[in-house]
A and B are shown apart, each in its own frame.
Chain A
Amino acid sequence: MGATEVLTVNHLQKKFGKFTALKEINLTLHAGEVLGFIGPNGAGKSTTIRTILGMLRPTAGTVQVFGQDAWRDAVFIHQRLAYVPGDVYLWPNFTGGQTIDLLLKMSGQQHNAKTDDLIKKFALDPSKKNQTYSKGNRQKVALIVALSSDVALYIFDEPTSGLDPLNEIVFQQEISRLKAAGKAILLSSHILSEVEKTCDTIAIIRQGQIIEAGELAALQHLTRINVTVTSDQDLTALGQLPGVHQFQQQSGTTNFAVDTDQLQTVLQALAAKKLTAIQIAPPTLEDLFLRYYDQGNVKQAEVSTHA
């Protein structure tokens, strides 16, 4: 990579009283890189992000942004950072337009042509009061502010959870634009496919721990593709192929999962059959976790046989 490190999280631990929210978090983000931060609800994504933002004080470990301490130098760091929280709450009696300007002003940014462009693209009515906005519209306000800011690091906490598919596309286009401009982006999500589309590297968090991290391509071994086929012919033989898992048959419909590296073989076998329908779905976060647990079990099993 060689690019400068924008964000470094080292052995971060965070406790709230007796409860340990974060056990061991390590993250690195370089300029021009998009880091996907994924995990189920309650895994510690928002807690990690708020520690990076200097809102929570680490119990142990270090968090550095632009080479500065996230807690101590928060104000300095935030001059070059934009953030969209997971749940956006806005002052009820301000209009959307007033809120956008206020948030930009507080970030030391200006309302510019890009802001107007984004308002149009996201189809937001800025004359409405915040209290009449839906969750998606409030999210748009925060997104417009962040995306029209010119900073070095962007942090998005589940940014598309309230957006419709059209707005989601706008968001992804904007991410690509920022990436091309050499910005660093941290994108948290619980939807794997969303992260896959935009991210270079991913880090998977579960119960306060990073359980996998690395470049997306290198993690493909973890993912399986779900295949559903309908055929008049008997497909039982497919279940015997290497790399096929969770093979299930029910009245002409066959469901199974294939390891990505074995996809070629399986598709060739399918091509020989007469199919009426075929559906190939990308792996979900759930699949990924299942796979991870499988591996964990295998490792444990191996350990126990060795012993």
Chain B
Amino acid sequence: MLKENFAQTGALLKINLRRDGVKLLAWFLILVGLLVGYAYKIGTLFAGAKAIATLIATLRTPAMIAIMGYIPDQQPMTEAIIYSSEMVVFMSLFAGLASILISVPATRGAEEAGLVELLRAKAVGHQAFIAAAWLENFLFNGLLLLATGLGLQLAAMDGANSAGNWLLAALIAGSGLLFGSLGILAAQLTREARTATSYGLAALGLAYLLRMVLDVSHHQANWWSLLGWPEQAGVYYRNNGWPIVWQVLALVLVLVAAMALNAQRDLNGGLIAVRPGKTTSRFLRGPLTALVKSDQRSFWSWLLAAVVIGLMYGSIFNHIAAIITANPLMQQIVSAGKQQQAVTQLILNFLTLLSVVLAVLGTIRGQLLLNHLDLDAHKGYLELYFARPISRLRVFSSYLGWSLLNAWLVLAAGLAGLYWGSAAVMKQPLALKYFVRIFSGYFLPVAVLVIVSALLVAWAPRWRQLGLVYTGVGFVLMYFRSLLKLPTWVVQLVPYGWVRQVPLKTINGATVLSLIVISLVGIGLAYWGYRRRDQNFN
């Protein structure tokens, strides 16, 4: 039985490790670098009692709790407690992201590529691919645990203790492994690796948003979210080990479910059978309509996800308003009308941060869609276009146009959700004009990033993922610029940085003009490159 199901797992694991070597190393360095690097730097970044007091005050605002996670208020604060409150949710999120992006390609990705079929015909066990993918995840997160634990021990932050160091490392690695296993489970549900990845990411996003809503309202209840568990441990002050036990139990459950599903289903099949459809379509007539139709499901999922994310962020706005109105000092020194102004100001400050989240969401949607210009060539769809009287300009502009439109639609959907969510919970809702201001501020930076992807696809298709990396860098710079006290020129290295004051201020004409010029030049260069290069398929 054991032999039958798990034969050759070791050999598969070796293949996986060799194939994913660079990816694993990159993620490992990023995660450990952030965790250990920040632990070493926190003392110098926030030197002196005043700086720390300001930081704590900032972290205790509902806006920051929503983003970073719960921070204890009954405890004497130490460097270590600040560190764990800031890092535990975010790094668990990153470890989960890395693990999903490792486990889905190793399971459904390999199956889609035909590798599983090839190898299952040999003496390879039925569950061996799952076992190998899981072990790969286990090794990755295990090493992450060791490196982080050791690094934290050596960093020796004020108020840190060994139990806390190792607990923090274990929680983050545990989250990684748990979400990696969920990725394996998702890979059993659907035929396409792309869909499996989005299921995994949806679970991750939902866990993050759920804990956000719970953290700002009833943080005791945040164990409803998988990403609330690491917070429940109270690293460095309570050092509660139970969340680790929950993680292990959940892991076993998920893994058993994945294996049971795998044992049930057909090779190359998902749980949902593919039904026959209509033999004609009035809609389909060229590259654009083909792209729209083949991308249909993603289209609706992204819009829906953006609205939900917006709604959840919007639903915590009343808590932000509450801290001003509940503050007796504020009530004494500021009149009621001024109070409202202060609330608006505070929320607008929070919105400068949220705008980036929604803009990044839209950008990623646009960039992923644009990358299809290259992916679809490799899949062979474009060969069918270019053998017909269809110009490269038509194909290029179809993909770029649809990508830009989608990036803007996702941004708009997120803002709509945010507006509805905030309007539902606030006594005096924020004016619509601020949301319009965010859109008009961010739609050009979003476009510039999508065009960066277009340039990569046109000139260096092998490096097309760099567009997404650039967006990721932009997100980190914008999100942590105030915490890390980044200089303006660094922030302005990414297009988002040019409009960082939105919606506190409106975007100025000169910035609009330069972004438009950059976009147009970028589109021209990208098309020029696309027209003159070879079309390589398969």
Contact = CB atoms under 8 A, between A and B. Distances in A.
Interface in B507-535: 532-535
Nearest to A97: B279
B387 A78 contact: yes
Interface size class of B (residues with CB under 8 A): 35 or more
B278 A56 contact: no
A127 B285 CA distance: 18
A108 B279 contact: no
B380 interface: yes
Contacts of A142: 384
Contact of A108 (B277, B381, B389, B538): B389
Interface in B277-308: 277-281, 284-287, 289-290, 293-294, 296-297
A87 B538 contact: yes
B386 A126 contact: no
A105 B294 CA distance: 17
A108 B385 CA distance: 12
Contacts of B86: none
Contacts of B296: 93
B195 to A, nearest CB: 11
B428 interface: no
Contacts of B278: 95, 97-98, 127
Contacts of B536: 56
Contacts of A108: 389
Given A102-B284, A106-B385, A131-B191, A89 B380 contact: yes
A98 B236 CA distance: 61
A78 B389 contact: yes
A106 B388 contact: yes
A89 B379 contact: yes
Interface string A28-64: 0000000000000000000000100111110000000
A107 B280 contact: no
A159 interface: no
B276 A85 contact: no
A87 B379 CA distance: 10
Contacts of A87: 380, 538
Given A50-B535, A89-B379, A95-B276, A78 B293 contact: no
Nearest to A83: B387
A85 B383 contact: yes
A238 interface: no
Nearest to B268: A131
A126 B276 CA distance: 9
A74 B383 CA distance: 13
B506 interface: no
A11 to B, nearest CB: 19
A75 B380 contact: no
Contact of A95 (B277, B385, B534): B277
B274 interface: yes
B389 A91 contact: no
A209 to B, nearest CB: 20
Nearest to A127: B276
Contact of A55 (B279, B286, B386, B391): B386
Nearest to B192: A92
Contact of A127 (B279, B287, B297, B379): B279
A101 B274 contact: no
Contact of A57 (B191, B281, B532): B532
A85 B384 CA distance: 8
Contacts of A53: 386-387
B486 interface: no
A20 to B, nearest CB: 14
Contacts of B537: 50, 55, 85
Nearest to B385: A106
Interface in B350-389: 379-381, 383-389
Given A98-B279, A105-B286, 14 more contacts: A16-B534, A88-B380, A89-B380, A94-B281, A94-B290, A95-B278, A96-B279, A97-B280, A101-B284, A102-B286, A102-B289, A105-B285, A126-B279, A127-B277
Interface of A: 16, 50, 53-57, 74-76, 78-79, 81, 83, 85, 87-98, 101-103, 105-108, 125-129, 131-132, 142, 155
30 contacts: A16-B534, A53-B387, A55-B386, A56-B534, A57-B532, A75-B389, A76-B389, A83-B387, A85-B384, A87-B538, A91-B381, A92-B192, A92-B294, A93-B296, A94-B284, A94-B294, A97-B278, A98-B284, A101-B281, A101-B284, A102-B281, A102-B286, A103-B384, A105-B284, A106-B287, A106-B384, A126-B279, A127-B278, A131-B191, A132-B274
Minimum-distance CB pairs A-B, first 8: A97-B279, A89-B380, A83-B387, A55-B535, A78-B389, A127-B276, A102-B284, A98-B281
